[in-house]
Chain A
Amino acid sequence: MRSLFTFLLGCLAVLLARAQTIDTPYLSSGDLPGLVVTRTGHFDGKSLYGYMDGGAELYREYGFVDLTVQELRINNQQQLLVELFRMCDPLAAFGIFSVSRGDCRGEDTTARYWCQTSGQVLCATGCYFLKVQRLTSGSGGSGLTSAVARKFFQLLPDSGAVVLPWFAGSPNAQPWQRQAILASGPLGLQNGSPDWVDPLEGGVYRSITIVPWSVEGKPATIGWIHCASAQAASALERHVALDTRPAWHYIRRCEGNSFLVIEADLPAERLAQFAGTLLIH
């Protein structure tokens, strides 16, 4: 009886897994005026090597589930490439978005995390990271990329906005979240905040949140490095010699196996005071 139950449980797990992989949204020809889907591809499995080889490492670092790729032609002129990445959880989707958007500050009501440039829309919602890129030049490209992105959003489950843990308890900090970078490894750092790569080279950590801030009217960068254990935090402290990083003007080891790092051109005492206000919020 027990083995039958185990078997049925196994079947259920397989069915659920299959259900997860076949409900990926995609566009069909005619979903938008003049839209023709010229190619649709789906990449499941644990890696993206088959699609992007070396570029896959970044997505794997965050936790990749699957990818739908579509090539679209609109009005028989513009060609667009759509890549819809399903990540393992909303934090991962936000993370990959955060290190991909650069200094883009684009706003859109469609998604909380949205970045639009002339040839590209990047956005994150729930477990999804969506990238719509123009393959051809010409006028009207940005309108098309955003129209396609919005259309995709209608097909995605409404899962609400992800809130980074670091910001959850502080309403004052919330506005900064849009500009935060969340890295879970060196490749995320390389893409989102390359200057933090070398100081942490070889270090072991779970995640890093990096946020541009303003301290007493001066530009600052705040980093929150989280380690898996107190032992790991101590090892990180020794390994990367945190206190030798010239630009890191304030470093504080906190409970929760974390480090608070502040880059700002202010006296250490003032930074310590500011750090206190951060923690009190």
Chain B
Amino acid sequence: MSRFFETSDLTRRDFVKIAAFGGVAAAFAPLTTRSGMAQDISVKPATNGKDAPRFPRTSRSMPGAFPGRVVQLLNDKAIANDTFDVQGLHVMLAKGMLALTGAQGVPEAWRMLVKPNEVVGIKVNPVAGKLLSTSPELVHVIIRQLEEAGIPTKNIVIWDRRAFEMADVGFTAEAFPGIKIAGTEVKDEKGSFYDAEGSQYGEKMIDRGWYYWADVEEKYDAETLPYMINEGKFSYFSRICTKDVDCIINVPILKNAGPTVTLCLKNLAFGAITNTGRLHKQLWAETCAEVPAFPPLRDKVVLNIVDGIRGCYQGGPAADQKYICNFNTLLVGTDPVAVDRVGYDIVLKKRLEEKIQKEESAKGRRFIDLAEEMHLGIGDLSKITLERIPII
């Protein structure tokens, strides 16, 4: 195929013809002032990500007990007519834990990762609402297996940024009796983010001792601010992960974000800190890789379980019914980078099959590469041990 590239401007006569099309430049002017996208976003602002590796690692630090190991459970009957087969989920997770750890029994497998006297935080993702949330059914199964492993019910916390979003999708005290449900961003029973003194409830939920700094900031309006808790160049970690829990089980959903995915690393990074709005545009991949590299996440996340029973391949991270599908799968692993790499391929394969894109995007795996550089896990597929287990 020969190619043709004309660099010369059109003639004046041509321009008149274009103008007859409707005055392209003038008519498109409204699109120019609205978004701030007319700026070069290829220049990356500085961050304190390089400070993260300076904190001494522990025996639990990512990638955890089983670097580069991922177990994929496949069960065509895991969901039907929007109803989850809870026993089927139980079997999937149990087999996954056994395959991952090599333990003889399921409780033993859990105890290889979690100690009975620890407070265990289950990090869910309800951001996209009922259509595309970490399923409460799967979380029930995780809790059941934790309890059978000897973890007291009172030591289990379900958490995410927004308590009210968790309630919307079914993570309520009624549905999970005895389990603490905690959010960093909190409203009172009147729907207010502020107490009688005018202070945000969320302020009490953050730990200013741990932060992600980035040389980028955004001014939030009054309505948005309490969802971000603070403005400026600092994003503070939630005290839920720095203080309240001893270890974390990370349960994201299998979904895309444009040509990439939002799985383990994204769920942790954007779910554990404040002031995230400023980070999406210019530092999405960096945030996904660098925030989990700080000790409150790096040294506490003991297990990742990607909820891929239902997921999406386009429209994410928001929920778009048209692109939601039943992947009928769970991914289990201690290495969040390896799990994300496997999940990425599942979503990419679906996107190619559905002709959403013709080829892989160069930026699709960037956050995985960055996370590997931060020594959080293995992103090279040739070095990942993937075991697929069909559930019949």
Contacts and interface: CB of A to CB of B under 8 A. Distances in A.
Residue from B1, B21, B82, B220 with most neighbouring chain A CB atoms (10 Å) = B21
Contacts of A197: 258-259, 361, 363
B305 to A, nearest CB: 21
Contacts of A61: 35, 37
| Interface SS, B side | loop
B258 A187 contact: yes
B3 A249 contact: yes
A226 interface: yes
| Interface SS, A side | mixed
A165 interface: yes
Nearest to A251: B5
B153 to A, nearest CB: 30
B25 A167 contact: no
B190 interface: no
Contacts of B22: 163-169
Interface in B210-227: 220-224, 226-227
A190 interface: yes
B262 A186 contact: no
Interface stretch (A12-20, A28-36, A38-46, A151-159): A38-46
Nearest to A63: B34
A254 B9 contact: yes
A151 to B, nearest CB: 19
A65 to B, nearest CB: 10
Interface in A196-211: 197-198, 201-202, 204-207
A279 B17 contact: yes
B5 A242 contact: yes
Residue from A120, A256, A281 with most neighbouring chain B CB atoms (10 Å) = A256
Nearest to A90: B30
Interface string B353-369: 00111110111000000
B24 A166 contact: yes
Interface stretch (B45-53, B70-78, B122-130, B370-378): B122-130
A135 interface: yes
Interface in B10-24: 10, 14-15, 17-24
A121 B319 CA distance: 13
Contacts of A134: 321
Residue from B24, B222, B281 with most neighbouring chain A CB atoms (10 Å) = B24
Contact of B32 (A54, A137, A201, A206): A206
A136 interface: yes
Given A50-B227, A137-B81, A253 B317 contact: no
Contact of B131 (A57, A133, A253, A271): A133
Interface in A259-281: 265, 267-269, 271-272, 279-281
A254 B28 contact: no
B240 to A, nearest CB: 17
A249 B357 contact: no
Contact of B362 (A49, A89, A190, A198): A198
Interface residues of A, number: 89
Interface string B118-155: 00000000011111000000000000000000000000
Contacts of A50: 223-224, 226-227
Contact of A136 (B4, B19, B82): B82
Contacts of B4: 249-251, 268-269, 271-272
Contacts of B221: 45-47
A14 to B, nearest CB: 15
Contacts of B222: 45
A1 interface: no
B226 to A, nearest CB: 8
A57 B21 CA distance: 31
Interface string B309-324: 0000011111111110
Given A47-B224, A54-B257, A197-B361, A256 B24 contact: yes
B277 A47 contact: yes
Given A50-B223, A91-B31, A268 B3 contact: yes
B42 A201 contact: yes
B280 interface: yes
Contacts of A228: 32, 38
28 contacts: A43-B223, A49-B220, A52-B318, A54-B127, A54-B280, A55-B127, A61-B35, A81-B131, A91-B28, A100-B315, A103-B355, A104-B322, A117-B322, A120-B322, A167-B21, A168-B27, A184-B31, A191-B258, A194-B356, A194-B361, A197-B363, A207-B28, A207-B32, A228-B32, A249-B4, A253-B8, A255-B15, A256-B15
Q: Which 4 A-B pairs have the closest CB atoms?
A: A168-B22, A202-B42, A55-B318, A190-B258
Interface of A: 43-47, 49-50, 52-58, 60-63, 81, 88-89, 91-92, 95, 100, 102-104, 117, 119-120, 122, 133-138, 163-170, 184-187, 190-191, 194-195, 197-198, 201-202, 204-207, 224, 226, 228, 232, 237, 242-243, 248-258, 265, 267-269, 271-272, 279-281
